[in-house]
Amino acid sequence: MLEGELLGVFALTWQAAVMLGLGGLLIYLGIAKEVEPVLLVPIGTGVILANVPLGGLTEPGGLFAVLRAAGIDTELFPLLIFIGVGAMIDFGSLLERPYTVFLGAAAQFGIFGTFFLAYFLGDGGLRLFDFSFTDAISIGIIGSADGPTSIYVATMLGSKYTPAIVVAAYSYMALVPIIQPPIMRALTTEAERRLAMPTRAQRVSRRTRVLFPILSILVVGLIAPKATPLIGTLMFGNLLRESGVVERLSRAAQNEMANIVTILLGLTVGGMMTARDFLRPETIMIYVMGVVAFALGTAAGLMLGKVMYLASGRRINPLIGAAGISAFPMCARVVQRVGLEANPHNHLLMHAAGANTAGQIASVVAGGAALVLVPFFA
Amino acid sequence: MLKATWFVLAGMAIVFATLSLLVLVMTALNRWLRPTPEAGAHPTRARDA
């Protein structure tokens, strides 16, 4: 009796012990190393709580089971987070330099290229891992560098690897300053990196800023309807910001709502990381694929940047292409830093911010495109 | 793997097509709704400041 139901220590398996250690590691990284602490502390705590034997939090009716059913299975949490993200993003840099949108588009090759590799390693080719077509898409979505989109797409596709995908997506976003610079230096010449770009751009009116989110919903929604919930919530948040008449709501979306949902989302994702679902070779491969996804996205953005460099008569610094993946604003800051290393008078931040915010929209479109296409290919 | 190749091509095509339309929208907005000198260039940043 005591052994079976009261004393959890007798029910502790080595797999659960490993997960408890992993939860502790995530908390350590969040607190001691300040790696995405806003997410890793709740996720790490969730991992520990979910793997305490006989705790019951993941059983039907338990806290994590209820939160998962209410917030993840319904896609509610990522969509609410997106309202907050939209309220935080200033699309001004993008509106001032519309051409940077193509850099965001190119960087989405990280999603599709990684999908291709994952599918090749799984059911589509070598069969080394248990990756179905939809699992491969969910893994590729890590390349969006966008947590809510990763959760949304992986959940919509019913991937069994959703927890690992989400944790990988958020972990690698924190590692952008480490992953991107070597790729940027390898794929560009010193002369290209030195190229200074003008800091001034065309001015943008308030009416443009207000109309842009509304028109974006219509354009994206009409072409990739499955992306409507994501683009709709993102742009609703941005409309709150740009309208200038609902400051209170904008601040609530950016702060109170985003914070509360982040706590619930982090705990729930951590709660999904039980030993049975997480400790498998596929999880390790998903983490490898995550690096591949970020690297491919960065490389694709840089390649289009180089095309623009040549096509513009050497007036566009190809480095800004690396900001096309949507880890905002880290990518833009990394571009600024690498640009400054090559030329101390080179300020690429605003150009890179344009590509970076374009990447935010592009990742949503790519996620929607994947969902639209699945019925035709899977 | 052939269907995976088509999936990649179709996905990237949708992304580029959608974002090309957004560029047209942004260009049109910037052309037709130019800021008036007294309206200021960056209302959001001005408001935040």
Shortest alpha-carbon distance between residue B46 and chain A (Å): 11
Q: Would you place residue B38 in the very low, low, confident or very high pLDDT band (cuts 50, 70, 90)?
A: low
Q: Which of A105, A113, A212 sits opposite B16 (nearest CB)?
A: A105
Chain A residues touching residue B10 (CB < 8 angstroms) = 369, 373, 377
Calpha distance A12→A51 (Å, rounded): 9
Q: Which of A155, A187, A179, A189 is nearest to A290 (CA)?
A: A179
Calpha distance A183→A69 (Å, rounded): 40
CB A351 within 8 A of CB A99: no
Q: Which of A205, A242, A365 sits opposite B15 (nearest CB)?
A: A365
Per-residue pLDDT of chain A (378 residues; tens, 9 = 90+): 455 566 777 778 898 999 999 999 989 988 998 877 888 899 999 999 999 988 888 889 999 999 999 998 888 999 999 999 999 999 999 999 999 999 999 999 999 999 999 999 999 888 998 899 999 999 999 988 888 899 899 989 988 888 888 878 877 777 788 889 999 999 999 999 999 888 777 788 999 999 999 999 999 999 989 899 999 999 999 999 999 999 999 999 999 999 999 999 989 988 988 888 788 888 889 988 999 999 999 999 999 999 999 999 999 999 999 999 888 888 899 999 999 999 898 889 999 999 999 999 999 999 999 999 999 987
Q: What are phi and psi of A152, to 5 degrees?
A: -60, -50
Mark yes or no for CB contact B19/A215 under 8 Å: no
Domain residue ranges of chain B, discontinuous segments joined by +: 2-48
Calpha distance A60→A148 (Å, rounded): 25
Q: Which of A266, A290, A240, A242 is nearest to A64 (CA)?
A: A266
Q: Which residue of B has its CA nearest to A359?
A: B19
Chain A residues touching residue B31 (CB < 8 angstroms) = none
Specify the number of domains making up chain A.
1
User: Residues with Cβ < 8 Å from A7, sequence gap 6 or more?
Assistant: none
Chain A residues touching residue B12 (CB < 8 angstroms) = 105, 108-109, 112
**Can you give the pTM of this predicted structure?**
0.88
DSSP at B41:
S
Mark yes or no for CB contact B15/A204 under 8 Å: no
**CB contact burial B29-49 (16+ within 10 A = b; e otherwise):** bbeebebeeeeebbbbeeeee
**CB contact burial A123-151 (16+ within 10 A = b; e otherwise):** bbeeeebebbbbbbbbbbbbbbbbbbbbb
Residue A208 region, left (φ>0) first, then alpha (ψ -120 to 50), else beta? Answer: alpha
Chain A residues touching residue B46 (CB < 8 angstroms) = none
Tokens of A42: 């709740």
DSSP at A129:
S
**CB contact burial A288-303 (16+ within 10 A = b; e otherwise):** ebbebbbbbbbbbbbb
Mark yes or no for CB contact A95/B26 under 8 Å: yes
CB A104 within 8 A of CB A362: yes
Calpha distance A74→A3 (Å, rounded): 37
The enclosing H or E element of A200 equals none
Chain A residues touching residue B41 (CB < 8 angstroms) = 203-204
